[in-house]
């Protein structure tokens, strides 16, 4: 199965899960608290059940690591290929009803996110990308894709960088690690929408100095890489997936990272980084409802 077929299936599954999520979003719903103090809604569990059922039918031989299943102690044996699922990234945004929550599905091969979809059902936008296949965005109407548009990261503007940070977990705007960067603008946004903003050329850098898990980042990482960007740890190494038995943290926990558009920024942010990729021109990817 080619990358295009994989993303087509991921898109279809995400769109179907979005119908379920929005049905819960539009009424009163139950919220509980997980052991890590993060919120859990009806939408998280219902969407994950649907996604797991659809993925099992489409990819019966590929194990799936899903956030709520892991929280309940269900972790499949994963080899070089597996799928990561976050059925509702941005539960706090969902509860606050600001629309900035997403459904994330990504395929991992040998530690690399090679295909992924990020769907924001309340915003009626979906992003997807794959290695060698490029990255795309589309508006969604009546739970169907409209015209897809290719997206690429932009060249770092000479007047200064636009940074994007987390709305619910602290944006990091005043972090001293950003002091040497020519920052012109800073915006806050929920869930993995931050990766997508960099991927489509609406921002240049997403620094994340707080805790994340692999299912939080894999789909957005796949889209950003497909658009020409990179996701790097603080030393400049690409973020890898399938991290188990970590001495310093739990399974699937990520280090702090930078999600970068133009590779020319990298030597300014990562210790010892020397490789600079050619800057990519921005595509015309802005959408309106």
Whether the Cβ atoms of residue 178 and residue 201 lie closer than 8 Å to each other: no
CA distance 272 to 170: 27
Q: Is residue 275 part of a domain?
A: no
CA distance 84 to 120: 17
Mean pLDDT of the region 25-41: 87
- The answer to whether 86 is annotated as binding is yes
Whether the Cβ atoms of residue 182 and residue 160 lie closer than 8 Å to each other: yes
Q: Is residue 80 part of a domain?
A: yes
Same domain, yes or no, for 74 and 169?
no
Mean pLDDT of the region 192-206: 97
Same domain, yes or no, for 11 and 121?
yes
Q: Is residue 278 part of a domain?
A: no
CA distance 266 to 233: 11
Run of H or E residues at 148: strand 144-151
Same domain, yes or no, for 71 and 185?
no
Same domain, yes or no, for 190 and 91?
no
What are 272-285's pLDDT values in tens digits? 554 434 334 434 34
230 burial (CB, 10 Å; 0-12 / 13-18 / 19+) is: buried
Q: Is residue 289 part of a domain?
A: no
Instruction: Give the three-state DSSP class for 43.
Output: helix
Residue 256 has a pLDDT of: 93
Whether the Cβ atoms of residue 90 and residue 101 lie closer than 8 Å to each other: yes
The one-character DSSP state at 27 is S
Q: Is the pLDDT of residue 288 over 90?
A: no
Q: Which of 132, 151, 170 is the last residue of a domain?
A: 151
Same domain, yes or no, for 202 and 168?
yes
Same domain, yes or no, for 8 and 135?
yes
Q: Is residue 44 part of a domain?
A: yes
Closest to 136 measured CA to CA, from 238, 11, 2: 11
Same domain, yes or no, for 71 and 142?
yes
What are 105-124's pLDDT values in tens digits? 999 999 999 999 999 999 99
Torsion angle of C-alpha atoms 202, 204, 209, 212, degrees rounded to 10 = 50
274 burial (CB, 10 Å; 0-12 / 13-18 / 19+) is: exposed
The number of domains in the chain is 2
- The answer to whether 68 is annotated as binding is no
Same domain, yes or no, for 141 and 110?
yes
Q: Is residue 286 part of a domain?
A: no
Residue 177 has a pLDDT of: 73
pLDDT band for 204, please (50, 70, 90 cuts). very high
CA distance 273 to 238: 11
Domain, as residue range, for 15: 3-151
- The answer to whether 88 is annotated as binding is yes
Phi, psi of 22 (to 5 degrees): -70, -30
pLDDT band for 286, please (50, 70, 90 cuts). very low
CA distance 96 to 94: 5
Same domain, yes or no, for 18 and 103?
yes
CA distances from 32 to 40, 92, 246 (A): 5, 12, 28
Q: Which of 107, 129, 151 is the last residue of a domain?
A: 151
Whether the Cβ atoms of residue 241 and residue 84 lie closer than 8 Å to each other: yes
Q: Is the pLDDT of residue 197 over 80?
A: yes
CA distance 289 to 120: 13
For the domain that residue 211 is a member of, what is the CATH number?
3.40.190.80
Whether the Cβ atoms of residue 109 and residue 198 lie closer than 8 Å to each other: no
Same domain, yes or no, for 49 and 130?
yes
| Residue 117 β-bridge partners | 105, 128
Q: Is residue 43 part of a domain?
A: yes
Same domain, yes or no, for 123 and 182?
no
For the domain that residue 38 is a member of, what is the CATH number?
3.30.540.10
Q: Which of 151, 185, 211 is the last residue of a domain?
A: 151
How many Cβ atoms are within 10 Å of 147's Cβ, its own excluded? 8
């Amino acid at each position: 199965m080619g990358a295009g077929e994989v993303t087509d299936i991921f898109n279809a599954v995400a769109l179907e899960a979005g119908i379920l999520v929005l049905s819960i979003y539009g009424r009163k719903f139950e919220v509980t608290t997980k052991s890590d103090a993060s919120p859990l809604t009806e939408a998280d569990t219902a969407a994950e059940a649907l996604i797991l059922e659809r993925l099992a039918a489409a990819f019966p031989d590929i194990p799936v690591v899903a956030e709520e299943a892991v929280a309940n102690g269900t972790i499949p044996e994963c080899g070089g290929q597996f799928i990561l699922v976050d059925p509702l990234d941005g539960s706090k945004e969902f509860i606050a009803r600001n629309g900035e929550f997403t459904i994330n599905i990504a395929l991992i091969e040998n530690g690399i996110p090679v295909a992924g979809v990020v769907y924001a059902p309340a915003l009626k936008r979906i992003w997807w990308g794959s290695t060698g296949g490029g990255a795309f965005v589309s508006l969604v109407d009546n739970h169907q894709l409209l015209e897809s548009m290719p997206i690429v990261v932009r060249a770092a503007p000479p007047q200064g960088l636009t940074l994007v940070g987390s709305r619910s977990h602290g944006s990091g705007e005043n972090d001293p690690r950003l002091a040497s960067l020519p920052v012109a603008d800073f915006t806050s946004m929920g869930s993995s929408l931050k990766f997508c903003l960099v991927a489509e050329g609406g921002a240049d850098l997403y620094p994340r100095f707080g805790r994340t898990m692999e299912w939080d980042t894999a789909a957005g990482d796949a889209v950003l890489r497909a658009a020409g960007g990179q996701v790097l740890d603080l030393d400049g190494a690409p973020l890898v997936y399938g991290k188990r038995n970590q001495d310093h943290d739990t399974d699937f926990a990520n280090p702090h990272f930078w999600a970068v558009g133009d590779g020319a920024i990298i030597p300014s942010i990562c210790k010892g980084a020397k490789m600079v990729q050619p800057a990519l021109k921005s595509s015309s990817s802005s959408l309106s409802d």
